[in-house]
Amino acid sequence: MQKQTLGNMIASLRKERGMTQAELAAIMNITDKAVSKWERDLSCPDIASLPKLAETLQVSVDELMQVRERGGSGADKQSARNIIGLVFKAVTLAMGVAVVVLSRMKALDTNAGFTLLGIGVACAGICLLQNKSGADK
């Protein structure tokens, strides 16, 4: 199912229930012009009115808002893990290179050096933990 705008969702659900804009407006205690604006995506229902709107249209608020939990495919999750691991490895390398270069240029004080190394070590540790948890699965 392709995702549609909230206005399109309201209009299609209203029509499925055989309701006119005026009938929906009367139930929601608003004007039919407000319903028309919702359906044309010129405005949105007030957040406090969403539960009543969903009940009237006989759907859950999640369905009305098109909230779907996606587990994602295993390939997507693995790809994301690979990218995250690569980023942490890059940060580890960058911190090490920064310390070496700045030290050689005599532009690095001790506290800044330890901070950079600490960031690098933390990223390296995260990479190791990620690899270990990936191997367990």
Domain count, the chain: 2
> What confidence score (pLDDT) does residue 1 get?
47
DSSP assignment of 89-116: HHHHHHHHHHHHHHHHTT---HHHHHHH
Range of the domain at 90: 74-136
Q: Is residue 79 part of a domain?
A: yes
Residue type, 136: D
Q: Are residues 94 and 119 in the same domain?
A: yes
To which residue do tokens 């690095």 refer?
108
Q: Are residues 42 and 18 in the same domain?
A: yes
Q: Is residue 1 part of a domain?
A: no
Q: Are residues 43 and 11 in the same domain?
A: yes
Model pTM score: 0.49
Q: Is residue 94 part of a domain?
A: yes
Among 33-37, 100-104, 122-126, 130-134, the minimum mean pLDDT is found in 130-134
> What confidence score (pLDDT) does residue 136 get?
52
